[in-house]
Amino acid sequence: MDIKQLKENIRNFNLEDGDLGSQGYTRVLLQLLGFTGHGKSSFINSCKYVLEEGEDLTEYAEAKEKQGGLTMVRKAYSLTDRITMIDNRGCKTMDDFERAEVYAQLGNVIPIGQEVNWKTNFSDMMAAIENSEMDPNFTDFLVPIFVYRATKLINPTEMEELRTFLDNCVKMTGVVPIIVLTFKTEGDYLEMEKQFRLMGAETVIAIENYTTERKIKTLGRSTDILMVIDSALRNVRFRLEQPRNPRRERIERKKFMYNYIHQIQLHHEKEKHEREISERENKNKKQEEENKGTCSLL
């Protein structure tokens, strides 16, 4: 598909085009997820730049990877009247608490425009879910896009964590996350693509973002960027071929969040219990050794 056709497909996309219509959805929400400093904000700027005419790149989303990620608030950037891209707060470690916040962003539990603060206890997480029901958003069709820089190798432990993360994204949205590998010319993106496909990824696209320093539009770079958006829309069309219920799907996402928080709570309680047992055993062992030492002196 040539670049002209890609642009037309994106600009003319309409949720009503399928045989079953929009089924209650009013907008496609492209949810950018990933670690801090991997190029999510730059990708937004690149998408808007490629869809616009001219050679003047506007930094709609502030992007300075050298600071380790700047996005603290979920921000929305419209690509068309029906397609919006969300710059979600990136995480640093993907531990249990940060993963829960990422899922909350993906599921629109945290409203767009709200600052994302990593919570450190389960009661605050549960309260955030309940507060989201004051103004529930169920008309956005959610498409997860995971942004990962091609220069960062993935170790076996991270692979298992990411595999679980990708699986959970499917459970929450019905869409396998599209993988966007940034910094294409600086890393072994072919090896990275292989790793993500082994984790279950179906679509992996390596790109080079446009920046104010490198903003001359080229056919290859622009086509790669447009292919990401086009892939997301093809997923939407496919899912809308089956009957959907946006209200029910939001309820299911809420159930997923409750269950996920409950499971990590049980995990942390188990770890705490095991630590207490270990500390108690070490204390008793130390006491026994001290008692033996006292007896030998006598």
* Residue 270, domain member (yes or no): no
CATH of the domain at 251: 3.40.50.300
**CB-based burial label for 219 (10 Å; 0-12, 13-18, 19+):** exposed
How sure is the predictor about 102, in pLDDT bands with cuts at 50, 70 and 90?
Answer: confident
Residue pair 243/21 in contact (Cβ under 8 Å)? The answer is no
The total domain count for the chain is 1
Give 25-54 pLDDT, tens digit per residue: 999 999 999 988 899 999 999 999 999 988
* Residue 296, domain member (yes or no): no
Give 143-170 pLDDT, tens digit per residue: 999 999 999 888 888 898 899 999 999 9
* Residue 297, domain member (yes or no): no
* Residue 207, domain member (yes or no): yes
Joined together, the tokens standing for residue 290 give 């001290």
Lowest-pLDDT choice from 60-69, 79-88, 263-272: 60-69
Residue-level pLDDT at 108 = 84
* Residue 8, domain member (yes or no): yes
Lowest-pLDDT choice from 79-83, 251-255, 273-277: 273-277
Residue-level pLDDT at 44 = 95
As a whole number of angstroms, the distance between CA 168 and CA 103 comes to: 8
- Residue 60 carries which side chain, given as an amino acid letter? Y
Q: Which helix (H) or strand (E) holds 262?
A: helix 246-297
* Residue 24, domain member (yes or no): yes
* Whether pLDDT at 115 is above 80: no
Average pLDDT, the chain: 86
Pairing between β-strand 75-78 and β-strand 83-87 as defined by DSSP bridges: antiparallel
**Chain-centroid distance, C-alpha 203:** 15
DSSP 31: E
How sure is the predictor about 175, in pLDDT bands with cuts at 50, 70 and 90?
Answer: very high
**How far lies 241's CA from each of 6, 23, 59, 175, in Å?**
21, 10, 36, 13
- Residues contacting 233, CB < 8 A, separation 6+: 9, 10, 13, 28, 83
**CB-based burial label for 86 (10 Å; 0-12, 13-18, 19+):** buried
Instruction: Give the domain range for residue 213.
Output: 3-264
* Residue 292, domain member (yes or no): no
Residue-level pLDDT at 167 = 95
Residue pair 177/199 in contact (Cβ under 8 Å)? The answer is no
Residue-level pLDDT at 294 = 67
* Whether pLDDT at 10 is above 90: yes
* Residue 279, domain member (yes or no): no
Q: What crossing angle do the helices spanning 40-51 and 219-239 adopt, rounded to 10°?
A: 100
